[in-house]
Amino acid sequence: MSRARVSIKGLEDYADDDKVVGAVRACLEPLGGMGAFVKPGQKVLLKVNIVTPLAPERAATTHPAMVRAAARLALEAGGRVSVGDSPGIGDPAKVLETCGIAAVMRELKLELADFKNTATFECAENRVARKLDLAKAAADADVIITIPKPKTHMQMTYTGAVKNQFGLIPGTRKAQYHYRLETREWLAMLMVDINRMARPALCIMDAVYGMDGEGPSSGNPRKIAAVLASSDLPAMDAVCCAIIGQDPEQVPTQAACRESGFGTTELEDIEVLGDDWKKFRLRDFELVKRVSSVPFLPLPKAAHKWIREQLSPRPRIINDKCILCMACFKGCPVEPSAIDPRREAARQVNDKTCIRCYCCHEFCPEKAIRLRKSWLDRIFRLSALIGR
Ligand code: SF4
Ligand code: SF4
């Protein structure tokens, strides 16, 4: 069996467009170049990551220079290129503007992909959703090229290639899945299902800057200085996890890929081409810390659920930073919203109805939501320290 291939090429910054194009071109070369993925006349969707309307310097969204490079190469290969994503809240066209991608679209005359309407996708092999309405953009495209960033994610630990396709679920419907699927493991399985349905042909990872700390939008930009490419998305995530020091066992999307036999998740089964990936390794990447080993107790399912809920950090508003934009309120999947910044501090978050999806944290443009550790989490950490 041939090994999965991930290509990596160093790229220091986004300053010089030609250098960015050169790096992406060099990265694709060992995989056969863009021509191996895009044929003349094909409709190409560049699925970017515009989680929330933030400037490119925040490193929460795909950098416009990376979109320009991917688009130029796809156009060169004869493709008809459109660009899009569905942010958690807000109009995609406006969010693309804030993220600096709309300017690139005007410059290269790229179409805005249809993320407002949906088309029905089916896949008999899927575990969570055999039938799903995804953005029409995915059905319109002959080829999907996904362009994410490697970032920490407060709910899913890490977000990159596989998770980027969650954005094919339009707008606030994403939040509804957070609500309907009880655990992050089920949510991860849904993400795998989406990848099986939409089948991106190629992932170009914008890892010039990733994000550590409280990602996917409130963390810190972290220079990784690389661009990566692969047609095997779990393999791409496996390499990115190795670079940032993330234990893949703690990444639900990787576990879901492994469990459902989707792609390649083991580093030893991956051939890394191009530059030596080990030279990009970061020892101090601030990861999402979780209490990883809750002792197994023979308790009923409901008790396990209760423990899990107690262990999850709770969102709290930092009122000094809050500008009352109401993005958290609008993005909360709970009905009525479990968060309301207009209330007095003690009642701003309803801990009884909050499902700890952290959408509010993700959508807040001001980093005005902190995630407070629970009392049970503190006890587990303390006993882990004492037991060392
Ligand atoms: S308050 Fe925040 S974490 Fe809780 S359910 Fe709403 S969006 Fe999710
Ligand atoms: S907490 Fe953040 S998202 Fe919510 S209203 Fe304040 S600034 Fe906006």
Please check the confidence at residue 296 and state whether its pLDDT lies above 60. Answer: no
- List the structure tokens of 318: 């930092």
Across the range 306-315, mean pLDDT stands at: 82
Q: How many CA atoms lie within 13 A of 10 on its CB side?
A: 8
- Identify whether the C-beta of residue 225 lies closer than 8 Å to the C-beta of residue 243: no
State the pairing for strand pair 131-135/118-122: antiparallel
Pocket test for ligand 2, best of 217, 314, 328 (most atoms within 8 A of CB): 328
- Work out which ligand 2 atom sits closest to the CA atom of 325: 8
Query: Does residue 2 or residue 367 have the better pLDDT?
Result: 367
- List the structure tokens of 298: 């023979």
- Kindly report, as residue ranges, where domains of CATH 3.30.70.20 are found in the chain: 301-386
Q: Which residues of 126-151 are buried (b: 16+ CB within 10 A; e: fewer)?
A: bbbbeebebbbbbbebebbbbbbbbb
How many other CB atoms are found less than 10 A from the CB of residue 60? Answer: 26
- Kindly report, as residue ranges, where domains of CATH 3.40.50 are found in the chain: 4-280
Across the range 83-88, mean pLDDT stands at: 94
**CB of 359 shorter than 6 A to ligand 2:** no
First and final C-alpha spacing in the chain: 43
Q: Which CATH class is domain 4-280?
A: alpha beta
Which amino acid appears at position 268 of this protein?
E
**CB of 196 shorter than 6 A to ligand 1:** no
Task: Report the topology of domain 301-386.
Answer: Alpha-Beta Plaits (3.30.70)
Pocket test for ligand 1, best of 326, 358, 362, 372 (most atoms within 8 A of CB): 358
Backbone torsions φ then ψ of 16, nearest 5 degrees: -110, 115
Residue nearest to atom 6 of ligand 2 (CA): 322
Please check the confidence at residue 295 and state whether its pLDDT lies above 80. Answer: no
Q: Give the model's pLDDT for residue 236.
A: 98
State the pairing for strand pair 151-153/157-159: antiparallel
Question: If you measure from the C-alpha of residue 280 to the centroid of ligand 1, how many angstroms do you get, rounded to a whole number?
Answer: 35
The residues, ordered by sequence, that sit 6+ positions from 170 with a Cβ below 8 Å of its Cβ are 86, 115, 116, 118, 133, 134, 135
Please check the confidence at residue 376 and state whether its pLDDT lies above 80. Answer: no
Q: Give the model's pLDDT for residue 106.
A: 98
Report if pTM > 0.85: yes
**CB of 354 shorter than 6 A to ligand 1:** yes
**CB of 345 shorter than 6 A to ligand 2:** no
- Identify whether the C-beta of residue 329 lies closer than 8 Å to the C-beta of residue 339: yes
- List the structure tokens of 335: 């009905």
Question: If you measure from the C-alpha of residue 247 to the centroid of ligand 1, how many angstroms do you get, rounded to a whole number?
Answer: 26
3-state SS assignment for residue 205: strand
Least confident of 239-248, 352-361, 368-377: 368-377
**CB of 368 shorter than 6 A to ligand 2:** yes
Helix intervals (H) in the chain: 17-28, 64-76, 92-98, 101-108, 136-140, 173-180, 184-198, 233-244, 252-259, 301-311, 327-331, 359-363, 375-386
